[in-house]
A and B are shown apart, each in its own frame.
Chain A
Amino acid sequence: MKKLQSSIPIIRGCFSIFKIKTAEGFQYRMAGLAGASTSIFWGLIEITVYTIFFKYANNREAGLQAGMTLRQIVSYVWLSQLFFLMQPMNIDKDILRKITSGDVAVELCRPLDLYFHWFAKTAASRLTPMFWRGSIILIFAMIMPLSYRLLPPESLTGFFFMILSIFSAFLLCTAYAMFICTVRLNVALGEGPAYILMLIGGILSGAYLPLQLWPDVMQKFLLYQPFAGYLDIPLRLYIGTMSTDSGLFAISLQLCWTVVFIAAGKVLMSFRLKNLIIQGG
């Protein structure tokens, strides 16, 4: 009980850091607009490619056999353009600067747990691109001509489960980003390992190709690996290729992986902080 009471100020501190960072990121309107144009361009190309394969490929039934219609894929593409934004693509600039300049020492003096302090910051920087850039993509996707349009969710319960799942996906992305961040604490290794870890997550999330269209032998593995929870599980719930029963199971899977990554990040961080080399002078 006592421990719980002492953790309240920490939670409050982290929450206000989250709020400040979010408000800060909210200001970049123009960058959001320009960024959205790229996402929309990318989405349109993807949809064109899928349409060609569904209409003209020699084995054009293959998509339906894998359980996806073209309309479902179109919705999948638009939503993946939107939720792709919360995947860790780089380490938060602020944190990276602190690592490379040696300001970690200053951060350690604060009466806040370093892991959760940075967790709040990372979470905010994953969330803010979704405001401007995300809403522009979403509006655009809804007013496209019919064959390119984002369709409404398959069912209301599916939509409800997707919201739950997106929330877990957000926590999962942040937890993994923090895990990468603790790897990056070893400055001598440079950026290489961090980017490789991010890339693996990106590929296995379904952003390159919906996981259901991957080879059949891999399907079991693809569903259980942590990165399905980034993108694929919420989107399957939206387009209705996953029943709500298995949805509950999938969401708990997402949360399990979140806990695993948080634990791994915390352990690795305390290990790294024990023999941390401070840069600069």
Chain B
Amino acid sequence: MVAETAEQTAKTRSRKRYKRGSSKAYLFLFPTFLVLFVFVYYPIIESFRLSRNRVAPFGGQEIGVGFENYTRLLQNSDFWDTVKVSLWFMVGTVPIGIGLAVIIALLLSYPLKRLNWFYRTLIFLPVVISSAIAGVLFRLLYNPVVGFFNYWLGLIGIDGPNWLADRSWALVAVTIAVVWRQLGFNVIIALAGIQNIDSQLYEAAKIDGAGTFARIRYITLPQLSPTLFFLAIINVIISLQAFGEINILTDGGPGRATTNLVYQVFVDGFVGTHFLGRASAQAFLLAVMVVAISFIQFRGLGKRVHYQ
């Protein structure tokens, strides 16, 4: 033992450990990688294979059809409608969700002497709410008979729409529910980002005579840009994958007004007959869309992000 410690220079040390830890390391990693390989990596390959088959309902026979599922989808206007719903939904949720979160986080970063914990508890609350529960809560609020939204709108003289049954309002209704559910998470991330900013920068600005809004404009927001960038990426991904609220609030309707790509994958693959080939092809196109938009964000926004 003593001799071993004595000869432990940096290099022999790592070589020794390499020998000693090697097989043990694989044992420690085994459970995690077993699950990752079977349920994450293998399914990617399998998903692509399925998408090039016509799969008989209930997992029976598979007929190879090459890229027919894809070419059919791309020529189908229903498919493009679901893409449009996904994109409109993204445009509706992401900027509003992040904008609100930043404003609220700025307010929360104000050094109040008391009640700080109380406001944070109220504002962080949606972070523990599931998409299913958010769907149920907003289904009550939108309800035309016992719901609260239209009652409140009525109090200020607005005749509210029939939110979930009106083609032009259903997507707005789902958007509000998802922005709400996502708000707790976004505020927590934005607040953590604000609190990570070096306070010396504010001191310097104070000496230079900068006012509140100047400090926000020239210090907080630029310093916060990596956080905003992260929020933009995550929120785009989350919005493109929105499912629970749609399932409970509108079931993709009225008509197909709130059927986004994920919802169509669900309908094709799991409602009634299982068209798993077509569902897989759409899932693949959706994944491509998610990756492509993230990539565009990295190229476009990434350059403007200010890192310390």
Asked if chains A and B come from one complex, the reply is no
A-to-B contact residues, CB < 8 Å: none
B-to-A contact residues, CB < 8 Å: none
